[in-house]
Amino acid sequence: MTTTDQPAVDPLTLGHAFFDLARERLDMVVPAALTDPEQPATRGDIDLDPDLWTAAGVIPARPAAVLIGIVDRPEPGIILTQRTTSLPSHAGQIAFPGGKIDPGDATPLDAALREAEEEVGLDRGLVDPIGYLDLYCTFSGFRILPVVSRVAPGYTLTLNQAEVEDAFEVPLAFLMDKQNHALHSREWKGLRRRFYVMPYQERYIWGVTAGILRNLYERIYEK
């Protein structure tokens, strides 16, 4: 079902006002939980059913970072990718540019920028970091730190076809409209879990990507 209990985001809080709000409410402090599985993470694949973590027996431990690149236009858009169908995991899914944090990455931001360059050829010189969202734990074993960033509108992309089939923008106004955050559920290893889905045109945005976008909405508009 789609939640309709609150009105859509005021369009006046989008555009440059969105970046102002984000700078006010986010920072670049790296949570200790990113590299310490003993520390609790605030968000994850079972956000809506937190008691299922124990039942699932999953302990995410691999640090990762993704780039939430918001293109600075009068009507901003978020850069997303579609993974190739030949990948061994999460094939064909909609995702943010990003991946695991390597030993040579000085910070999670550096990891997200490196991965964005490797996956879609996004020039890091066009990316202005704003702040990290909450740490997000996944069933696949990752502890993901998303970094919200402003992207200059003159960017060009070159896709790494081994990893990325397509890259595109989805309007920020659509993704930050709570009425577009549908709740679905499915069985996973004998457990029924709920998750957010944000279908946009022919794109099916769900799972980790939708969960992180929901966190962005809550941090900017519900804090």
Which of 34-38, 108-112, 157-161 has the lowest average pLDDT? 34-38
Per-residue confidence (pLDDT) for residue 1, from 0 to 100: 32
pLDDT above 90 for 106: yes
pLDDT band at 148 (very low <50, low <70, confident <90, very high): very high
pLDDT above 80 for 125: yes
> What are the pLDDT digits (tens) for 201-214?
999 999 999 999 99
Residue 1: inside a domain: no
pLDDT above 70 for 5: no
Instruction: Please enumerate in sequence order all residues whose Cβ is within 8 A of that of 86, keeping only pairs 6 or more positions apart, or say none.
Output: none
Cα gap 72→31, rounded to integer Å = 27
pLDDT band at 11 (very low <50, low <70, confident <90, very high): low
203: Cα separation from own chain's centroid: 15
Residue 136: inside a domain: yes
Per-residue confidence (pLDDT) for residue 139, from 0 to 100: 82
Which of the given ranges, 35-39, 54-58, 92-96, 147-151, has the highest pLDDT on average? Answer: 147-151
Total structural domains within the chain = 1
At 105, which CATH number? 3.90.79.10
pLDDT band at 4 (very low <50, low <70, confident <90, very high): very low
Residue 84, domain extent: 11-221
Residue 73: inside a domain: yes
Do residues 57 and 135 lie in contact, with contact meaning Cβ atoms separated by under 8 Å? no
| % of the chain exceeding 90 in pLDDT | 66
Residue 204: inside a domain: yes
pTM above 0.85, yes or no: yes
Per-residue confidence (pLDDT) for residue 209, from 0 to 100: 96
Residue 34: inside a domain: yes
Q: Which has the closest alpha carbon to 144: 219, 72, 215?
A: 215
Per-residue confidence (pLDDT) for residue 18, from 0 to 100: 92
Residue 125 phi, psi (nearest 5): -70, -15
Mean pLDDT of the chain: 88
Bigger pLDDT: 191 vs 4: 191
> What are the pLDDT digits (tens) for 64-78?
999 999 999 999 999
Cα gap 68→48, rounded to integer Å = 22
- What's the mean pLDDT in 47-54? 74
Residue 4: inside a domain: no
